[in-house]
Amino acid sequence: HSIAQEHIDEMADAARAIARELNVKGLMNIQFGIMNDKVYIIEVNPRASRTIPFVSKAIGVPLAKLATKVMLGKTLDELGLTKEVIPPYYCVKEAVLPFDRFDNVDPVLGPEMKSTGEVMGIDKDLGAAFAKAQFAAGQKLPSQGTVFISVQDKDKMAALPVAENFHEMGFTIMATKGTSSFLNEHDVPTKLVKKVSAGRPHVVDAVTNNEVQLILNTGASTLTKRDGYAIRRAAIKYKVPYATTTDGTKAICSAIQALKKQDLSVNPIQDYHQENDHA
């Protein structure tokens, strides 16, 4: 969705070159990264990954079964899979995270695996697909209320259009001093709240009192990290959706916009698969 086509093409070319050079028959897993408009290969594993069942379900092709037949000597021509399947709909994979089961665990995500399962949302609208994935993972998205926003300086411009969208949808924007000043300067009205480190009543009190329905919090300094940890733990305890990146909040915003426009559709996955070209 958000990756430039030229980067997608470059990654596909690299994957084909590596597979041919290593003489891989079957499945191969490659982790790519993009930084400053440049594609990097992080690692290559000549095996399947948890992405395979997700992609198989998304496009309606039993990739593990076909890969096994390739390993046993069949060709892709013989198996009828001769070109990439690009579905005309969105499939969103969401991790099921067990943070509510473990006290004192910070829910900030990194490269290490913390999920205990995965779910998928499918729809022709990206926001609706994301909303379905959130519901499947047990996350309830608010249709009204207050959004708390506290972001570090480098994230402020990225957070601005998100705050504007939430304001236009009728949400109240609650923010800490620096973020509040920035948003007010850009014509987004806010309700000022203290950081945890600035004394009470602070944002965690607001979460505890059910005054906050959604949280966007990014942090940089050690002090901000301590505040962020307290906010994220409160969000888990009181089941308030939270995002630790502006991209995550953009996705949540698009999901709420989709929910406000229409009821979510429920269709058999086979109906989606029939729209794909497997030739």
User: Per the domain annotation, does 237 fall within a domain?
Assistant: yes
Is the distance from CB of 96 to CB of 115 less than 8 angstroms? yes
User: Per the domain annotation, does 269 fall within a domain?
Assistant: no
Q: What pLDDT does residue 234 have?
A: 87
Q: Are both 137 and 69 inside the same structural domain?
A: no
Q: What pLDDT does residue 222 have?
A: 46
Q: Are both 133 and 192 inside the same structural domain?
A: yes
Task: Find the CATH number of the domain harbouring 115.
Answer: 3.40.50.1380
Rounded CA separation 248/35 (Å): 18
Q: Are both 142 and 224 inside the same structural domain?
A: yes
Q: How many domains is the chain built from?
A: 2
Q: Are both 129 and 70 inside the same structural domain?
A: no
Q: Taking the model in full, what pTM does it have?
A: 0.85
User: Per the domain annotation, does 16 fall within a domain?
Assistant: yes
Q: Are both 106 and 187 inside the same structural domain?
A: yes
User: Per the domain annotation, does 166 fall within a domain?
Assistant: yes
Largest CA distance in the chain: 69
User: Per the domain annotation, does 144 fall within a domain?
Assistant: yes
Q: Name every residue whose Cβ is closer than 8 Å to that of residue 178 and which is 6 or more positions away in sequence.
A: 153
Q: Are both 12 and 141 inside the same structural domain?
A: no
Q: What pLDDT does residue 180 have?
A: 93
Q: Are both 112 and 11 inside the same structural domain?
A: no
Q: Are both 209 and 123 inside the same structural domain?
A: yes
User: Per the domain annotation, does 58 fall within a domain?
Assistant: no
CA 19 to chain centre: 29
Q: Are both 173 and 204 inside the same structural domain?
A: yes
Q: Are both 38 and 110 inside the same structural domain?
A: no
Give the pair of three-digit tokens for residue 227: 């505040």
Range of the domain at 237: 91-261
Q: Are both 115 and 249 inside the same structural domain?
A: yes
Q: Are both 75 and 138 inside the same structural domain?
A: no
Over the chain (279 residues), what is each successive 10-residue block's mean pLDDT? Answer: 91 96 94 95 92 94 96 94 92 79 60 74 95 91 93 89 94 93 95 88 93 84 68 85 87 93 89 82
User: Per the domain annotation, does 268 fall within a domain?
Assistant: no
